[in-house]
Amino acid sequence: MSGKVYINGKIVDPSEATISVFDHGLLYGDGVFEGIRAYSGKVFKLREHIDRLYDSARSIALTIPMPREAMMQATEETVRATGKKDAYIRLVVTRGVGNLGLDPRKCAIPQVIIIVDDITLYPAESYEKGLEVVTAATTRNLANALNPRIKSLNYLNNILAKIEANRAGVPEAIMLNAHGEVCECTADNIFLVKNGILFTPPIHAGILDGITRNTVIDLANEAGIRVQQPTLTRHDVYVADECFLTGTGAEIISVVKADDRVLGNGKPGPITHQLRERYHALVRA
């Protein structure tokens, strides 16, 4: 590993970054996180990611032991310490060390961990040819159980769907909500194009309020592409002219096949290509 880790106020090599086995982030997935990217030495959408991190923490009654500005500064300092111009940042806040019981009141000070390293979710050829996906049988968490807008350390719901994708021999899976509506994929938001209009599921369908998703919506609006957020089903996926996924790690990547059905002409479409170019121009600006 060539990255660095900020932990307990210090920046160390990955081999020196340790937490207690009694940390409730490890024992129960009790904590929150953010995935962020740095391009050309600049952290992209840092304020938006930090705001979402603190919103996630507040939603689970977790008090982050440092102000937002200090968190932003620590993130930037950790990136600089790696010497990397382009990097992936994983920012984690756990409930802290406690006992073997569930009670969060028994936990000590929350742990703040910032990991800066490299990430490659998909090979380069997948961005040229597009992905194949399947629909997972695993239902997305109910919003009134564990709201998907919270980026919690408990990602078992997504992991079970990812296992389904692995067993089907594809890299991603579409997740549906309890009503059978399209939500998102295991790690990315989803967009469809039909008759030149861009569609993506609404937040209330039970999805992460993705920062890359919102960036793509802004870019589409600037390009004069109509954007709608209606309820979507698998039918909408199957008849789409184009489909693509968005996420901090994946950026923008086309989907050309879903549940063994070819989407559109089976190749990444022109609107997907246009938005990818605009996105790359933005992050490098």
Q: Which residues are CB-neighbours of 213 under 8 A, at least 6 positions away?
A: 189, 191, 200, 246
Q: Is-catalytic flag, 106?
A: no
Instruction: Collapse the DSSP code of 235 into the 3-class scheme (helix H, G, I; strand E, B; otherwise coil) and give the result.
Output: helix
Start and end residues for every CATH 3.30.470.10 domain found in the chain: 4-117
pLDDT, one tens digit per residue, over 21-46 is 999 999 999 999 999 999 999 999 99
Output DSSP code: residue 152. B
What average pLDDT does the segment 62-87 reach? 97
Q: How confident is the model at residue 1 (pLDDT cuts 50, 70, 90)?
A: low
Among positive and negative, which fits the CA dihedral 151, 156, 159, 161? negative
Q: Which residues are CB-neighbours of 86 under 8 A, at least 6 positions away?
A: 37, 38, 39, 40
pLDDT, one tens digit per residue, over 142-201 is 988 999 999 999 999 999 999 999 999 999 999 999 999 999 999 999 999 999 999 999
pLDDT, one tens digit per residue, over 107-116 is 989 999 999 9
The dihedral region occupied by 95, where left means phi > 0, alpha psi between -120 and 50, and beta the remainder, is alpha
Start and end residues for every CATH 3.20.10.10 domain found in the chain: 124-284
Contact 19, 25 (CB under 8 A): yes
Architecture of domain 4-117: 2-Layer Sandwich (3.30)
Of residues 141, 234, 222, 147, the one with CA closest to residue 190: 234
Q: Looking at domain 124-284, what is its CATH homologous superfamily?
A: D-amino Acid Aminotransferase, subunit A, domain 2 (3.20.10.10)
Query: Which residue is catalytic, options 151, 162, 194, 267?
Result: 151
